[in-house]
Structure 1
Amino acid sequence: MTTSTGGSRLRRAGKSFELRRAGVAFFLSTAMALASLPHVASAQDYRFTNVRIDGNQRIGGDAILTFAGIARGKTVSAADLNDAYQRVVASGLFEKVELVPSGNTLVIKVREYPTINKVSIEGNKRLKDEDLEKLIKSQSRRVFSPSVAEADAAIIADAYNQEGRLSARVTPRIIRRSDNRVDLVFEIFEGGVTEVERVSFVGNEAFSDRRLRRVMTTKQAGLLRGLIRADSYISDRVEFDKQVLRDFYQSRGYVDVRVTGANAELTEERDGYFLVINIQEGQQFHFGAINTTSELDGAIAEEFQAALKIKPGQVYSPALVENSITRMERLATQKGLDFVRIEPRITRNERDLTLDVEFQITRGERIFVERIDIEGNTTTLDRVIRRQFRTVEGDPFNPREVRQAAERIRALGFFEKADVQAREGSAPDQVIVDVEVVEKPTGSLSLGGAYSTNGGLGLVIGIKEDNFLGRGQKLALSISGASENKVYSLSFTEPAFLGRNVAFDFDIGYRETESNYANYDSTIANFRPGFSFPLSENGRLGLYYLGQASEMTATTGATIGGIVTAEIAQGDVWNSALGYKYTFDSRRTGLNTEAGWLLEFGQELGGLGGDADFIKTTGKAVAQTKIMHEEVTLRASLEAGVLTYNGSYQGRSIDRFNIGSGIMRGFEPDGIGPREFDSVAGVNDALGGDMFAVARIEAEFPLGLPEEYGITGGVFYDVGSVWGVSDTAAATGSVLYEDFSARHVIGMSMFWNTPIGPLRFNFSKALRKEDQDQEQTFNLTIATTF
């Protein structure tokens, strides 16, 4: 990167300083030589009875005399005069300084630096004026200083450096105005982004380059390099990635890992870098013996040992040790034990590569939290930050809890920077916790297009605010105008209802569907308030109310069977239901970095004043693991549902389960399940089913393409069915496939990580299906994890 050390005028000013300094020295030496002719003994001495100052306008004479340090009537030498000159120049207030002896009078001539009339920044497009103005010290109505202007230019260039634009140049220039004023202009040449062309590793054996690149925040320049900023070379980001790599290895048992260096070499064109990271992996360790000892009365070691989740033989991870300490400290709090410290003592066993861990329960220092000070939150309310702490003023001080609170504050996503530090309070046994944050924008407006193989092409408008009114609340409005589906939704979330660890949600939605796969259209409006709260470390329960109004209408010109005709004739139907959903997610604690599983179970109980009395039960189980050094992901899932009605209302097609496309791949949305079929009348209506079950097995793996393309492959195998129609509906017409009949689908997937989100392309083939099933051989969706 090239940063100008000043404009041409500044350079000329600097040279003039040196010339004037040399001139003064020459003048002084000549004067002293002449004075030495009659008085040889006093050749180098001056005695001034008067000092006159010329040229100063803003700076007082007394201040200049103070800088010079020459007193009236005192004998001074030529060296003293030179020192006085240097001190006046070093004040940084004068553009020109001259010391002229005139008999017994010393004349100090100065020309003050001009005042800055205004500061302008030109040539910048990537960084805004207001952002750059916050970085520099030069400001209007202040005295202009060349050194400050040069430092400001370096600061601006460094800001571009952090954006990956290493070739940026910043040149400060001045424009003279009347009344000794100048306009200061920073001319910026932004240059292009210096990209990371290649990231490679030396010394890695357990994990491939591809796997390690996925860990890093620095990415290689890919096909969409114009949209991806993570491929810019930023030295601070590389340093952060070195720590990320260490954490990655240590969480997988490589406790001795060392990232010894990161070498960046410019390409011949000087527009990119080849980044090489050196790693010394060491050996992988597992947990050996795990024991707990206690030195406190009331803290029974066996009880604390039972709270541990780690077992001998597991891959060692510092995070699991920290998690275990947190569990023990929580148990101590439940038992009313304060100032408890859990100290892990680790013993290495080089022979079998295990680490024995002994958790020692001891009494810690009696230190209390005096107060929690929060600064920098101009929008976010104090209570939003304060509730991330599990301790309040007056509680025992726990350093680990403070660190975890800092992580929770950063996880909010409201701040660019969040520093949490503890310092001594008003007494040795008191601690003040300082929280300093720098806020960032939390709202977004999105406008774009959307396409799906089921809904067609449409326009999407979204407004989202993750920190509504600084209260930590989320508000989102979305409008989707796809050709086949029009969706309007408004959602609101309060994450800490009444200050508790309870989330309150409120959703309102409206959908109009013009189905390509059925002979009817539908409109559905619903509102859904609810609460959710944790039941355990991994478990969470949600309770909600669902109010839904829906209507089916016949598609113009369509031939409709008797069952759908009867359903359309019902007109508007109002469903009122209470529901709950329990979720257990092992990934919340991250006990296994290579695997995880998810369980979900929920029910909706209808009949709370609505038209339908029903029970809708759904469940899902998902398990995932990674093999072959985490290069290949295996995933298996089972999903099922049952819908039962009581009373005269027996449900409609839009009430029942339709599992095609979304739940089971290879079929249209209404492509499988019970159908009213009459070949003579031309009737073929999908009815949905009261029950469904689907099992899915899939694998995701690299395709050997360059990692920067963000493209991987996958295969899948789905088996499932939807069946069952109420007796009333079945009696109205001829129903096919009312009984269970398993369909089998095999397929391939292509995953593509794009700046607009991860996309998944599915290519499928039904191995087993029924004659009237509607197959779908291609589907485009958003890629999701379980």
Structure 2
Amino acid sequence: MTHIKHLCFSIAIIFITLGSIQISYGQDSNRIQIENPENLMPREYEIREVSVTGLVTGRESYLISSSGLRVGETITIPGDDISNAIKQIYRTSLFSDVQIFYERLSGDGVNIQIAVEEQPRLGQYEIEGVRRSHRRDLRERINLVSGLAVTNSVRSQALNTIKRYYAQEGYWGTQVEIVEQPNEANPNRVDLIFNVDRGERTKVREINFEGNEHFSDRRLRKSFGTIKQDRWWRIFKRHVYTEEEFEEGIANLKQFYRDNGFRDIRVLSDSVYIDDWRSKEGVHFDITVSEGPQYKVRNISWDGNTVYSDEQLTQALGFQRGDIFNATKFDQNLNFRQDDADVSSLYQNIGYLFFNVSEDIRVVGEDSLDIHFEIVENEIATIRNVTFTGNTKTHDDVVRRNLRTVPGNTYSRSAIVRTIRELGQLGYFTPEGITPDVRPNPEERTVDIEFGLDETQGSDNFEFSGGFGGRQIGVILAARVNFNNFSVQRMFEPGGWDPIPTGDGQRLSLGVQVTGSGFQSYNFSFTEPWLRGRPTSLGVSLSYDLLNYGRQRNRFFSPVQQGSTANQRNELISASVSLGRRLQWPDDFFSQRTVLTYNHFNVAGFGQIFDDGRADLLTVRQELERNSTDNPISPSTGSKFNISGEIALPIPSFAQFYKLKTSYQHHATIVGRLVLSSTVDYGYMGYFTESNRSNFQRFFLGGTELQQRQSFTNDNINMRGFPGGIGGQISPLDDFRNQIGGRAFSKYSLELRYPAVRSEQLQLIPYAFVDAGNTFDGMTSFDPFNVKRAAGFGARIFLPILGLVDLSYGYRLDGTDPHSQNQSGLQAGEWEFLFNIGAPF
């Protein structure tokens, strides 16, 4: 009984001395304090008021809403309502300390007070200890903005971003120190400084394999592809480990085995670790494989085929009895090949859209395969509707006339591929962005096709360039504006000039070129690719060229008066009309064009080509071309063949001659995006009678169009490594050691290029080349293997606003003959930098 009295007395003392409750949670410790409670038993109260203290930068309404404590609602004290409110406020990551007080009112009411201490806000941040380019890259990745609450989570996220960035570059031991200091402009904010020490690059030192019996470690490392071992001779290879590239390398390894017959290849284990290698710390890969047997094809059988015989299908599949099974070759030859020679294309190109083939590959014995195909041919499909979307500037008619899929025709997969090529060749849409959506309807045996188009930012461009063409030419300045999707019709429509009338696929070009040596050129051209709704092109062009050297030594054009002075002035007014059309035979890659050109010359001081005075020239040129390339700027597949004949009509007092030219180029993708291109050019020039022979319009090799334009009395052929221009080209010499141009020429080119950057804003295409060629005074001296050679490297840069610029740096392997007694010609063993505007293909 006495003990019970003492316990009651103690409880009474506690209730008398405690009157209110305070619950607070700190950032470093979760503490609950209870002071002067009137009653420790849980009881419900109505919230009459919620107030906030300690808030500096935030909104009071947001804080109260985050707590979940609302006026008019009831809470239980003591209970979980207050502690849950504190936890919810902490989840905003905006506060370092949160306390909640309440005061009991008369009846069942209570007033709540939330006291907070805010996290510091960010003023600005700096990244120290790294190069400027890395700072720029990191700022794009680090998600820090002024005014953001600087929490532990924010600091950790920024730190991890920096370490992850450098890990991708091979710096696994990157250390980052975060320094926090007050902001000078705003005392309520702090600045963060990230002191970065990236350390030493940790490269891949060893890639080791176990379990490989048929292939050496070296061969498997090569197949790995994405990551190479660090060796001094691998200057341009990547030696840095990333998880994504490692997984890609494992996939490449498995595919290599499958393409060599090992269908059961397994990677039993793979480990990545850092260890010392020849006193250097580096990343090591240990990969264990189980190869299994190497399978060979035994029997191939077909069932369900009526359109093609078993022999035809087996030939398309590309496997014979005893061949090693190649998984990639099998898939391509069955489903899709670039040349449409696969099994599926055989059917789908003649309308069998609903064709289906399933294979059954069975292992026979230890290492043989029997392959059986079950074919369901179904019915031929007819194209019902063809639509397209995404052309915002280009008119529908321009797109529609380039479609090879026409409603009512039999479905053909090759026609879809051809449509993509034709639309990509226009230059108005990104080739990668042309996506066909094929919607078959098996019940009605029809198909709808929709082409999604990604219109380029601008097919029009302004070209401006300058350079130095050598001692005889001087500074070259050229400017040209090209409207490649012009519309004459919209010129006369309200609102058509916005800012330029576009959309009909017409081409309008205006250009000017001047040099410090007295050369000026102005030209205009217009082309309508579809005349009156037919695949017939009409082109017109006008140009004016002036070459005025004043009075100076005439070293190149007047052998009769060697060393004398003359007033060298040459004017050319030229006009041409061309008419071309597409052909359907031998196939629809062919086209032909007829060009009628009139040239009027006003000549002084170029006596070896013309007598001083005026001269006229009227030529007709007939061209036949087959073009199956996939891209006008940097083809990756296809070929281009051109043959032309030109006649300077035998009109009295007009210059007379005839020319034959032919050119062939082939483009093939070797590995990945690496492309090999080869080109062969030949030309011959003859005369109707010996009496009208002259040095006019003969062949000169070397230089670029920018240099050659001022030599417009010649027929100039581009060739890298040789400067071109007056006196700088490859040409035969006359008895006075002057360049007179050739009546025949040969030229060969081999180019290896890689489209490094392909986007709407920029295309960058570095390349290496070998060029060879020569000119000859006639067919009696013509020797296709007697050539002047150059090798080097370059790059093509395409910007929508500037067009295509070609930069090359060539090393001459052969020199040219001296041009005169005072000139030594071009020396072998010298480098030559050239630049040009426009596509070479």
TM-score band by shorter chain is 0.5 to 0.7
How many angstroms apart in 1 are the aligned matches of 2:177 and 2:580?
55
Equivalent in the alignment of 2:814: 764
Residue in structure 2 matched with residue 722 of structure 1 by the alignment: 776
Report SS of the residue matched to 2:101: strand
- What are the superposed Cα offsets for residues 569-616 of structure 1, whole Å, 9 maximum, x if unpaired? 46253445343232366999xxxx9x9976432234565999667653
Return the offset for 1:761. Answer: 0.9
Distance 1:779 1:401 in 2: 47
How far residue 54 of structure 1 moved from its aligned partner, in angstroms, is 0.9
Listed as ranges, the matches of 1:637-786 within 5 Å are: 639-644=681-686, 650=692, 652-659=694-701, 662=717, 672-673=731-732, 675=734, 677=735, 686-690=739-743, 692-694=744-746, 722-723=776-777, 739-740=780-781, 742=783, 745=786, 749-753=790-794, 757-764=807-814, 777=828, 780=832
Q: 1:261-303 CA distances to partner (integer Å, 9 max, x unpaired)?
A: 99899999xxx999999999999x9998998957466x34489
In structure 2, relative to structure 1, the CA distance for the partners of 1:645 and 1:586 (3 Å cut) is: same
Amino acid at match of 2:620: A
Q: Which residue of 1 aligns with 2:713?
A: none
The amino acid across from 1:75 in the alignment is: T
More displaced, 650-659 or 234-243? 234-243
Give matches, 1:466-481, under 5 Å: none
Contact 1:153/1:171 (CA < 8 Å) preserved in 2? Answer: no
Q: With the length of structure 2 as denominator, give the TM-score of the two structures.
A: 0.55
- 1:25 matched to 2:31? The reply is yes
Q: Which residue in the other structure is 2:85 paired with? A: 84
The amino acid across from 2:87 in the alignment is: Q
Alpha-carbon contact 1:201-1:279 (below 8 Å) kept: no
For 2:258 and 2:691, locate their aligned partners in 1 and report how far apart those are by CA, in whole Å. 56
Structure 2 residue 114 is the aligned partner of structure 1 residue 109: yes
1:55 is aligned to 2:52: yes
The change in CA–CA distance for 1:188 and 1:624 in structure 2 (over 3 A counts) is same
Q: CA deviation at 1:530?
A: 6.7
Question: What pairs with 1:76-225 in structure 2 (closer than 5 Å)?
Answer: 76-90=77-91, 97-103=98-104, 105-109=110-114
Report the counterpart of residue 458 of structure 1 in structure 2.
Answer: 475
Question: Are the counterparts in 1 of residues 818 and 825 from structure 2 also a CA contact under 8 Å?
Answer: no
Provide the rounded CA distance (Å) in 2 between the counterparts of 1:282 and 1:741.
59
Deviates more, 1:545-554 or 1:618-627: 618-627
Once residues 534 and 227 of structure 2 are traced to their aligned partners in structure 1, the CA distance between those partners, rounded to angstroms, is 35
Task: For 2:226 and 2:539, locate their aligned partners in 1 and report how far apart those are by CA, in whole Å.
Answer: 35
Question: How far apart are 1:82 and its partner, in Å?
Answer: 1.0
Q: Which amino acid aligns with 1:571?
A: R
Residues of 1 paired with 2:535 and 2:217: CA distance?
41
Residue 707 of structure 1 corresponds to none
State the match for 1:617 in structure 2. 660
Amino acid at match of 2:683: G
SS of 1:764's partner is coil
Once the two structures are TM-superposed, the CA of residue 67 in structure 1 deviates from its matched residue by 1.8
Q: Show CA shifts across 1:375-405 (max 9, x none).
A: 8x98888999999987699999999999999
Contact 1:263/1:276, CA 8 A, preserved across alignment: yes
Task: Tell me, in whole angstroms, the C-alpha distance in 1 between the residues paired with 2:820 and 2:401.
Answer: 56
Deviation of 1:618 (Å): 0.9
1:181-213 Cα deviation digits (max 9, x unpaired): 999999899999999999998889799999999
Structure 1, residues 435-491: CA drift from partner, whole Å, max 9, x if none? 697977878777665456797663455678898689697888776656667666778
The residue that corresponds to 2:37 in the other structure is 35
Change (3 A) 1:406 1:616: closer
Computing the radius of gyration from Cα coordinates, the structure with the larger value is 2
Counterpart in the other structure of 1:734: none
Q: Percent identity?
A: 10
Q: How does 1:525-544 map to 2 (within 5 A)?
A: 525=574, 539-541=589-591, 543=593
Measure how far apart 1:689 and its partner are. 4.7
The yes-or-no answer on 1:45 pairing with 2:33 is no
- What code does the residue aligned with 1:780 have? E
Report if the CA contact (8 A) 1:758-1:782 is conserved.
yes
Q: Does the CA contact (< 8 Å) of 2:542 and 2:575 recur in 1?
A: yes
Distance 1:625 1:148 in 2: 52
The aligned residue for residue 494 of structure 2 is: none
Alignment partner, residue 565 of structure 2: none
Q: 2 CA distance for matches of 1:93 and 1:319?
A: 58
Look up the SS of the partner of 2:100 in the other structure. strand
1:600 is the counterpart of 2:638: no
Q: Which among 624, 631, 638 is matched to residue 581 of structure 1?
A: 624
CA contact (8 A) 1:199 1:274 kept: yes
* Distance in structure 1 (CA, Å) of the matches to 2:164 and 2:428: 22
- Taking structure 1 as reference, are residues 102 and 160 closer, same or farther at Cα in structure 2, changes over 3 Å only? same
Structure with higher RCO (Cα < 8 A, 6+ apart): 1
Give the 3 Å change call, closer, same or farther, for CA 598–449 of structure 1 in structure 2. same
Shift of 1:760: 2.1
- Normalised TM-score (structure 1): 0.58
RMSD, matched Cα: 7.8
* Equivalent position amino acid for 1:658 in 2: F
Change (3 A) 1:477 1:139: farther
Distance 1:369 1:278 in 2: 54
Cα deviation for residue 340 of structure 1 reads: 3.1
SS at match of 1:48: strand
SS at match of 1:658: strand
SS class of match (1:107) = strand
Q: CA deviation at 1:85?
A: 1.5
1:373-388 matched pairs, under 5 angstroms: none
Three-state SS of the structure 2 residue aligned to 1:760 is strand
Measured after TM superposition, the shift of residue 740 of structure 1 is: 3.6
Distance between the aligned counterparts of 2:473 and 2:344, measured in 1? 54
Query: Which amino acid in the other structure matches residue 49 of structure 2?
Result: R
Q: Could you tell me whether the CA contact under 8 Å between 1:406 and 1:419 is conserved in 2? A: yes
User: Deviation of residue 764 (structure 1)?
Assistant: 1.0
Cα distance between partner residues in 1 of 2:258 and 2:541: 39
Indicate if the aligned counterparts of 1:121 and 1:129 stay in contact, CA closer than 8 A: no
CA contact (8 A) 2:459 2:484 kept: yes
What runs of 5+ residues in structure 1 fail to find an aligned partner?
1-16, 678-682, 702-709, 725-737
Alignment of 1:287-686 (within 5 A): 295=304, 299-301=307-309, 317=329, 322-323=336-337, 326=340, 332=347, 335-341=350-356, 360=375, 362-363=377-378, 450=467, 458-459=475-476, 517-519=556-558, 525=574, 539-541=589-591, 543=593, 545=595, 547=597, 549=599, 551=601, 553-555=603-605, 564=609, 567-569=610-612, 571-583=614-626, 599-604=641-646, 615-621=658-664, 639-644=681-686, 650=692, 652-659=694-701, 662=717, 672-673=731-732, 675=734, 677=735, 686=739
CA distance in structure 2 between the aligned counterparts of 1:548 and 1:128, rounded to whole angstroms: 60
SS in structure 1 opposite 2:337? helix
Q: Note if contact 1:173-1:186 (Cα within 8 Å) is conserved in structure 2.
A: yes
Give the CA deviation at 1:722: 2.9
Distance 1:581 1:261, change over 3 A: farther
For these two proteins, the number of residue pairs brought into alignment is 702
